[in-house]
Chains A and B, each alone.
Chain A
């Protein structure tokens, strides 16, 4: 796809690209507002998956035959494309992983190997469990200390507290770019600058940002950036860890196996160079190729028009929700992405979610894998509507009517 001339942003036409959106659930047209959990896939990606398995399937990096070379070159072309998309210095900085969780675990294990007892890791109070638990495990293993940057009621990281926590003991700051539960967009560029002042490295959890904004790792100057393919219109089981080359070079391999070695003898094994050092075993080849296709698909559009449309959707939904009595929006930062998390006094999110489902509306309910955050707000969970660029105001109207009906039944 040529990305220099941007495709006109037409929601109606975009919807045509996503076959999963054209279905009925319990006899109602599906309204898919669970994009924060995973996104639907465009035909462009589906065709690429089909093409790979029906024509190009072969193992990579090891065959002299035609198909193996073709698969290898497509896989590596995808890596190159992703590197360019993120504005990485080189494609050696792009490690294919299983997803965000896998990327964070890789860093916790491998970068974690370089840490010493007493050194500190900072995370924020709004992190997803996958950006909490790997660090807790690392701290247990190495005697490092995990510190939590507090947030305010609006759902924003308290920057003063962050600055106070930073010290020469801080070795890593791991924060989410966008909160999956609240929608808050964190000021990561400034946070990265502050961390670098004390010499700490920064990992950005981009699971919720890659699909909503342009990511430029050079401009951000982050040390690591992780995301999942499935949340950005690509396949499940594939993701990316971006890491600065010098840093990745210093880190020991994560897993051992084929592909990650240069030479193996029973006495000593030498490891392959980047990025292969971190990619042991046969990778998710179709996933790697098709994640590139997903980003290519997204790259046809001007990201600003996507952002504008998504912001309009979220503002529209939030304004309408606030007309209901006893409605609480959880996450009230001025800087938010297209996530609206809410709870109605006296109504359990599970009940609301169940009734919305029966009206054909897919939302997420519960703690969204951010239990400490729910504890902070003293709520069992929220109902979360998360929008993608293929959603419409008409869908929100239907959603609001369904919320109204549900409240009527549950109050």
Chain B
């Protein structure tokens, strides 16, 4: 499935909920299902401090694809992280770096990604894209060498 198709799928998943509380119930479930980052990996350099909740992000690059693991101390934040990972995990760095995460807007959760929300999510997306960019440049130079 392409990154674009994954976004479409999430939007369809959410279309069945017309009530905010149901939507959040689903997000909380996603948060519970998220494979959490190992305790020993919750180190200072993986922390993204938000004013309201904390996020840990672990990015890696293997076989031409990016892999992300993340966690948060707040379950709703974790659920939204789950969605972001579903879209961005196992994708090529060039696709991640230039992607537009429009699904967040379409399912009505964009407020959580606004930079003023200070829950660490906006910074997390930025960090995911930055690590994709970094993978791209190291990949390029490795191929040239």
Residues of A in contact with B (beta carbons under 8 Å apart): 26, 348-351, 353-355, 358-359, 365-367, 380-381, 405, 409-410
Minimal beta-carbon separation of A266 from chain B (angstroms): 45
- 0/1 string, B25-62, CB within 8 A of A gives 1: 10010000000000000000000000111100000000
A366-B52, A381-B52, A410-B28 given; A348·B75 CB < 8 A = yes
23 pairs, A vs B, C-beta closer than 8 Å: A348-B53, A348-B74, A348-B75, A349-B52, A350-B52, A350-B76, A351-B28, A351-B74, A351-B76, A351-B77, A355-B24, A358-B20, A358-B24, A359-B21, A366-B52, A367-B51, A380-B53, A380-B54, A405-B21, A409-B21, A409-B25, A410-B28, A410-B75
- Tell whether B100 is near chain A: CB-to-CB under 8 Å: no
Q: Are A350 and B24 in contact (CB under 8 A)?
A: no
Closest 5 CB pairs of A and B: A348-B74, A358-B20, A350-B74, A350-B52, A350-B53
Nearest CB in chain A to that of B53: its residue: A350
A354-B24, A355-B21, A359-B21 given; A365·B52 CB < 8 A = yes
Q: Are B51 and A409 in contact (CB under 8 A)?
A: no
Q: Are A348 and B73 in contact (CB under 8 A)?
A: yes
Q: Are B28 and A350 in contact (CB under 8 A)?
A: no
- Tell whether B7 is near chain A: CB-to-CB under 8 Å: no
Nearest CB in chain B to that of A27: its residue: B20
Q: Chain A contacts of B75 at CB under 8 A?
A: 348, 351, 410
Max chain A Cβ within 10 angstroms of own Cβ: one of B54, B73, B76: B76
Interface size on B, residues (CB 8 A): 15
- Tell whether B119 is near chain A: CB-to-CB under 8 Å: yes
Q: Are B21 and A358 in contact (CB under 8 A)?
A: yes
* Bound-state Cα–Cα, A359 to B119, Å: 20
Q: Chain A contacts of B28 at CB under 8 A?
A: 351, 409-410
How many contacts between A and B, using CB within 8 angstroms? 42
A348-B53, A350-B53, A351-B75 given; A26·B24 CB < 8 A = no
Q: Chain B contacts of A349 at CB under 8 A?
A: 52
Nearest CB in chain B to that of A353: its residue: B52
* Bound-state Cα–Cα, A367 to B51, Å: 8
Minimal beta-carbon separation of B117 from chain A (angstroms): 10
Minimal beta-carbon separation of A181 from chain B (angstroms): 15
Minimal beta-carbon separation of A372 from chain B (angstroms): 15
Minimal beta-carbon separation of A42 from chain B (angstroms): 28
* Bound-state Cα–Cα, A242 to B119, Å: 37
- 0/1 string, B75-94, CB within 8 A of A gives 1: 11100000000000000000
Nearest CB in chain A to that of B77: its residue: A350
* Bound-state Cα–Cα, A358 to B73, Å: 20
* Bound-state Cα–Cα, A109 to B28, Å: 48
Q: Are B119 and A350 in contact (CB under 8 A)?
A: yes
Minimal beta-carbon separation of B27 from chain A (angstroms): 9
* Bound-state Cα–Cα, A26 to B51, Å: 25
Q: Are A354 and B76 in contact (CB under 8 A)?
A: yes
Minimal beta-carbon separation of B82 from chain A (angstroms): 14
Q: Chain A contacts of B24 at CB under 8 A?
A: 354-355, 358, 409
Q: Chain B contacts of A350 at CB under 8 A?
A: 52-53, 74, 76-77, 119
Q: Chain B contacts of A366 at CB under 8 A?
A: 51-52
* Bound-state Cα–Cα, A410 to B27, Å: 11
Minimal beta-carbon separation of B87 from chain A (angstroms): 21
Q: Chain B contacts of A367 at CB under 8 A?
A: 51
Minimal beta-carbon separation of A367 from chain B (angstroms): 8
* Bound-state Cα–Cα, A166 to B26, Å: 55
Q: Chain B contacts of A26 at CB under 8 A?
A: 20
Nearest CB in chain A to that of B73: its residue: A348
Q: Are A380 and B20 in contact (CB under 8 A)?
A: no
